[in-house]
Amino acid sequence: MIRTPVLRLGLVAVLAVGAVACGGGEEGGVPVVRWYARDEAGEVFGAAIEDCNAAAEGRYRIELVPLPANADEQREQLVRRLAAEDADIDLMNMDVPWTAEFANAGWIRPWPDDRVEAATEGRLATSVETATYDDTLYGIPLNANAQLLWYRSDLAEEAPATWDAMLAEADDLEAAGEPHVIWEQGQRYEGLVVWFTSLLASAGGTILDEEGTRVTLEPEPTRRALEVMRAYSRSPHAPPALATAQEDQGRQGWEGGDAAFMVNYGFVWPSANELAPDIAATMAWGPFPSVEPDVPSKVAIGGFNIGIGAHGDHPDLAVEAATCLAGEDNQARNATDAGLLPVTEALYDDPAVAEAEKGGTPLFPYAAAMKEALSTAVLRPRTPYYNDVSLAIISILHPTAEIDPEAAVERLRTAIAAALKGEGLL
């Protein structure tokens, strides 16, 4: 059943009226399939488009319509156009939490039943899950991502298994006069939701039930996750700028040499090899630390799927084009040229990816650890009201040093329950 997507939809539609294009149409008799996406480093999507256009042999031509680099700005631009039934959007890259919102609003088409197997076979189950809403596939997984714990092998023998153990090791390093900072993302933004989701899952809890309609937030796991956030944030091992730290601030701090541990994505590896080779020479990695010693850690999955616009001019060609763009050859090139991790599980064991090098430096020495992290990853709340749920979490948990674990459990439950009723914060 299609519910009213968001209370702000009417306003969004009005704002979008002036911006709507008139549809992909044709050029020189060839249908044009427009793909709204942020082009990645090295313009790797341009190479995929070129190959897919050649494979189409004149039946269609894909054109990239660039989106902003920031995911929030991408969503805002897409929502404005989709709410106004913009026929220009044949394809769009969707951040993994957007599927439920876009599908529930009727902005994207269900994936054709006779093409589901081709879009899911051999792909990471968690990635397929991110493209699924109400038991229906709404996109083809394109790339995936997850955070690892990076540590300096000259300061720690192995990755600490829990946050408590990591803080204890940092205490010892500080006492010995060694680098002891731990980098996380504490800024008031989506990265804070990713951190909380991973911590809660690693404590054995969830934010919503399987249907995405009811708040769970089991009291004990939620309180433990919040205790970890506060303990770390108040410790001498949190960077002074934690409350404004995003992924790139962590990378820069790590490369500065004052840190022993860092929770971050794989882009930190090539960056350190290029900009801080002495630090890179000591870099090792392990799974995201757990909260409880007897509960395996889990991380929130990231990445993008390709969705089909509900009002595009070329839905059948769009499915064909998306299938090509998300094909294994393009996934492998996206990985080696732009660091975008594959969704096809076998590529993590393929020497062309797992053993790829650049300038003599291995690109993905952490491929096995990433594959393991993605295989057990969890989704952020799967609900059409995700944006409001995310805002509720961010507003209550920031700044993390001021979290009151006991009180915050109930505040989160109340705010997220309101968000699920469409009583958002905006």
pLDDT of 254 above 90? yes
The reported pLDDT for the residue numbered 9 is 39
Distance CA 350, CA 345 (A): 9
**What does the pLDDT look like over 208-223, one tens digit per residue?**
999 999 999 999 999 9
* Dihedral, CA of residue 266, residue 150, residue 382 and residue 347, to nearest 10: 40
- 5 — pLDDT class (breaks 50, 70, 90): very low
Pairing of strands 148-152, 283-286: antiparallel
- 1 — pLDDT class (breaks 50, 70, 90): very low
Share above pLDDT 70 across residues of the chain, in percent, rounded to a whole number: 92
- Cα→Cα distances 70→96, 243, 340, 357, 421, Å: 14, 19, 16, 28, 28
pLDDT of 163 above 70? yes
Bridge partners (DSSP) of residue 290 are 162
- Listing DSSP states for 409-423 in one string gives HHHHHHHHHHHHTT-
The reported pLDDT for the residue numbered 41 is 61
The reported pLDDT for the residue numbered 425 is 53
Window from 69-73, 257-261, 373-377 with minimum mean pLDDT = 69-73
Mean pLDDT of 183-197: 97
- 42 — pLDDT class (breaks 50, 70, 90): low
Range list of H helices, 23-94: 44-56, 71-83
Higher-confidence residue: 408 or 18?
Answer: 408
**What does the pLDDT look like over 115-157, one tens digit per residue?**
999 999 999 999 999 999 999 999 999 999 999 999 999 999 9
For 287, which DSSP code? P
The reported pLDDT for the residue numbered 426 is 45
Mean per-residue pLDDT of the chain:
93
- Report helix angle 9-16 to 71-83, nearest 10: 80
